Amino acid sequence: MKKSIIFALIAVATSFAIWAGVTYPRIGGEALHLASSLETSLYGLHRAEVDVSDSTMMSWQNSPDDGKESVIMIHGYSADKTVWMRFARHFTKQYRVIILDLPGHGETAFDPALKYDTVSQAQRVVEAMNTLGIKRAHIIGNSMGGFIAGQLALHHPDRVQSAVLVDAAGVISPQESDMFKMLAAGRNPFEMSSRAEFTEFYAMTMAQPPWLPKMILDYMADDYIARRESLARIFQDFHSTDFLDNRLPDIQVPTLILWGEQDRLLHVSGAEVWKNGIVNAELITYPKLGHMPMTEAPSQSAEDVLAFLAKHH
């Protein structure tokens, strides 16, 4: 009798451990999505689908207003629209704001039949503008999103009122970042198979990350692990596009470059490449910030961008 009770307790404990291991990160994900939904609604943003020729992109938007200029925010590789959330709240009263989840990111599905190079992604942004009835917009992009913003400024200047490049990919930095040293050694920090690898990667993304509880970080880690194959494919396509170093003088739209000096993914020396290549480009760097100033210091970086946009109505 005693043995059967012991075995029953062991079975219950084992079942609970399995349940907890499965549901714990899932609860973290639900908490993250709920918190993001509530917070964005406070900022006047709502979820909306945007149809383009080859996909349906999820977005956050505020209510259209014909009297407002438009601002489109584009996240980086492997990220999603949530990185702009607290930055975007500073723009919603004055601008029409659209924050996209590019295909293969966030709530927009990965489709192996699509192309994920920056020219293709830039074309989808143009198509999204057409769907939304936006003739011209201020384009703000981080990392890969900055590369896409650069492609838009180069190939679709009539649609770009100004470009803001935040720690932007797309040029060769004179000094190698920690990420490029890892890539040269044969390891991509974005492709991970354990939570420990995610912890190492996450420390590279920001110098001053906002606080998140462990169950949300574990959910994010598990999500990266689950997306390993699709992220590898997107990375391959993303890096199949020629960088813009030799085309920078052809960019004629007003351009602001923001960069965190502690960036470990894209070295801050790349900022000067953009600035020296684009005529009259402006540059602001942040000594204590990393790869995502809009997430690390949303109020400060938004203030700098708003001042720039005010000069380019």
Residue 1, pLDDT > 80, answer: no
Tokens 């813009």 correspond to what residue?
244
Query: What is the percent of the chain where pLDDT is above 90?
Result: 82
Given this model, what pLDDT does residue 7 score? 40
Over residues 263-268, mean pLDDT: 98
Given this model, what pLDDT does residue 242 score? 92
Residue 15, pLDDT > 80, answer: no
Residue 223, pLDDT > 50, answer: yes
Over residues 152-160, mean pLDDT: 98
To the nearest whole number, what is the mean pLDDT of the chain? 91
- Work out the burial of residue 34: count CB atoms within 10 Å of its CB; fewer than 13 is exposed, 13-18 middle, 19 or more buried: exposed
Over residues 135-139, mean pLDDT: 98
Residue 238 near residue 118 (C-beta atoms within 8 A): yes
Given this model, what pLDDT does residue 60 score? 97
- pLDDT tens digits along 166-218: 999 999 999 999 999 999 999 999 999 999 999 999 999 999 999 888 888 99
Specify the pTM.
0.91
User: Which structural domain range is residue 163 located in?
Assistant: 2-310
Q: Which residues contact 99 (CB under 8 A, 6 or more apart)?
A: 45, 59, 60, 61, 72, 73, 75, 81, 84, 85, 88
Q: Which helix (H) or strand (E) holds 255?
A: strand 255-260
Given this model, what pLDDT does residue 28 score? 59
Over residues 5-27, mean pLDDT: 44
> Distance between CA atoms of 203 and 205, rounded to whole angstroms?
6
Over residues 86-90, mean pLDDT: 97
- CATH number of the domain within which 203 lies: 3.40.50.1820
3 state SS of 142? strand
- Minimum mean pLDDT range among 36-40, 97-101, 187-191: 36-40
Give me the number of domains the chain comprises.
Answer: 1
Given this model, what pLDDT does residue 66 score? 73
